[in-house]
Chains A and B, each alone.
Chain A
Amino acid sequence: GAGVSQSPSNKVTEKGKDVELRCDPISGHTALYWYRQSLGQGLEFLIYFQGNSAPDKSGLPSDRFSAERTGGSVSTLTIQRTQQEDSAVYLCASSPFHKITGELFFGEGSRLTVL
């Protein structure tokens, strides 16, 4: 497809388990972002990748959260030892340019529920 693809769309896990969320950005987009959205809330920035530069990890809430981007394309967000407060929709976005345009292209998100 032409848009940002995320999987799984829904994930239910037990507290303490690890989860991996995948994002496939739009082909050719060099910038990739992860955001978290709790129910009825705004989008919380987590991490940003741009080309081969070191990622901006300033939004990761704890060391249980990590992300990688392989080959400048697909990204995986990993949450270790999940907690109930991690329950949210995790949104991935990409953009084609490094310069500021204010426009990101979002995927449909992965809804994570931690029991």
Chain B
Amino acid sequence: GQSLEQPSEVTAVEGAIVQINCTYQTSGFYGLSWYQQHDGGAPTFLSYNALDGLEETGRFSSFLSRSDSYGYLLLQELQMKDSASYFCAAPRGGYNKLIFGAGTRLAVHP
């Protein structure tokens, strides 16, 4: 089977840095994706890590450690608009059939 665990809620202030962790149990692991979803909106792709290490895209970075079955999303210089739910996801079955975690709700306060 496959499951992904992430915290349900995280709170931070504007300008701060926040890390959202994701641990997974899976067979045939291919990589870890991160998605952002604002209330009432569609999930949007943020990043994909197929290999160990840190991937940086602007204010957002994503990290993967395959040996630890662990990854995280790092958000820097937080802005109010970053308040959203963040989901980690992993492909299963050799293609883009993504299995999602339950999501982490990030609240950014002034």
Do chains A and B stick together as partners?
A: yes
Which residues in A have some Cβ–Cβ distance to B below 8 Å?
Answer: 4, 31, 33, 35, 40-45, 48, 50, 56, 91, 95, 97-109
Q: How far is the CB of A69 from chain B (nearest CB, A)?
A: 15
User: Are B97 and A48 in touch, CB under 8 angstroms?
Assistant: yes
Report B-chain residues with C-beta under 8 Å of the C-beta of A106: 42-44
With A91-B43, A108-B42: A42-B100 Cβ-Cβ less than 8 Å: yes
Report if A103-B48 is in contact (Cβ < 8 Å); known contacts: A43-B100, A91-B42: yes
Please name all residues of chain A whose beta carbon is closer than 8 Å to the beta carbon of B42 when the two chains form the complex. 4, 91, 106-109
Instruction: Given A43-B43, A43-B87, check contact A103 B95 (CB 8 Å).
Output: no
CA distance A95 to B48 in the complex (A): 14
Instruction: Mark contacts of B65-87 with chain A using CB atoms, 8 A cut-off: 1 yes-contact digit, 0 otherwise.
Output: 00000000000000000000001
A106 to B, closest residue via Cβ: B42
Q: Please name all residues of chain B whose beta carbon is closer than 8 Å to the beta carbon of A42 when the two chains form the complex.
A: 87, 100-103
Knowing that A43-B100, A56-B97 are A-B contacts, what are 10 other residue pairs whose CB atoms are under 8 Å apart, sorted by A's residue number? A31-B95, A33-B98, A42-B87, A97-B96, A101-B48, A101-B96, A102-B45, A103-B48, A106-B42, A109-B42
Residues of A within 8 A of B44 (CB): 106
> Chain A residues with Cβ under 8 A from B31's Cβ?
100, 102
- Name the 5 nearest CB pairs between A and B, nearest first: A102-B48, A102-B33, A106-B42, A42-B102, A43-B100
Output the least CB separation between B5 and chain A (Å).
11
Question: What B residues does A100 contact at CB under 8 A?
Answer: 30-31, 50, 91, 94-96
Is there an interface contact between B43 and A102, defined as CB atoms closer than 8 Å?
A: no
